[in-house]
Amino acid sequence: GAVVSQHPSRVICKSGTSVKIECRSLDFQATTMFWYRQFPKQSLMLMATSNEGSKATYEQGVEKDKFLINHASLTLSTLTVTSAHPEDSSFYICSARVSGRNTEAFFGQGTRLTVV
Amino acid sequence: GQQVMQIPQYQHVQEGEDFTTYCNSSTTLSNIQWYKQRPGGHPVFLIQLVKSGEVKKQKRLTFQFGEAKKNSSLHITATQTTDVGTYFCAGLTGGGADGLTFGKGTHLIIQP
């Protein structure tokens, strides 16, 4: 199946700093990518839909100025957690679909963010 | 907004016993997908159901989509230790939202 690569897999940062997470579709073009957040032993919460060449669509309650999403190309979307706080510590996962809306989602490996 | 409810949250079974997780949506779904997430891993796609009343099988796994396209179930026959993980259902509506709405997941714990 299609491959989505997410980097880094783990990151520890200090409070107040920013962290960038990359999500790449390796063998297909993804016009749309999705960013999820997952707390321990909980479900995946959709944060935003990243559209290539346009602004991301954020879910209700997600601060767009805090979670900056850029989808500059058909194979790369980035999520930047700005001015990170300990409560931002979580597992962030991106996903992409090959085409259309009725297709399976391929997930990146996830990024474990710890803010100290 | 759309909600997808999934039960049970945790399920302990003896190896060899059957297991079922249920998923219910507050709205009609255009399709429902099932994913498995191993501890420390990322979700991996299992299957997609699109048609009303659809039933699909993958070896010991049986997936069903309700007639009203609002509920679904995953049944595993004769569980094995390799089945350990969290099973998520995820629904896609026909509306403007394009992201999947995930259920809370069912954590399957198998005792040998």
Pair A88, A81: CB distance under 8 Å: yes
Residue with tokens 């507050």: B26
CB B73 within 8 A of CB B21: yes
Q: Is B103 on the interface with A (CB under 8 A)?
A: yes
Q: Within the 31-60 window of chain B, which residues sit less than 8 Å (CB to CB) from chain A?
A: 31, 33, 41-45, 48, 50
pLDDT higher at B105 or B98: B105
Q: How far apart are CA A15 and CA A81, in angstroms?
A: 11
pLDDT of residue A54: 84
What is the radius of gyration, based on Cα positions, of chain B? Answer: 13
E-state strands within B9-84: 10-14, 19-25, 31-37, 44-49, 55-58, 61-65, 71-76
Q: How far is A62 from chain B (nearest CA, A)?
A: 14
In tens, the pLDDT along A20-65 reads 999 999 988 888 899 999 988 888 899 999 888 888 999 999 999 9
Q: Which of B 7-36 lie inside 8 A of A, CB atoms? A: 30-31, 33
The residue-averaged pLDDT of B96-105 equals: 79
In sequence order, what are the beta bridge partners of B36? B44, B87
**Nearest-by-CA chain A residue for B107:** A41
Chain A interface includes B107 (CB < 8 A): yes
First to last CA, chain A: 37
pLDDT digits (tens, 9 = 90+) for B16-74: 999 999 999 999 998 999 999 998 888 999 999 999 999 999 999 999 999 999 999 99
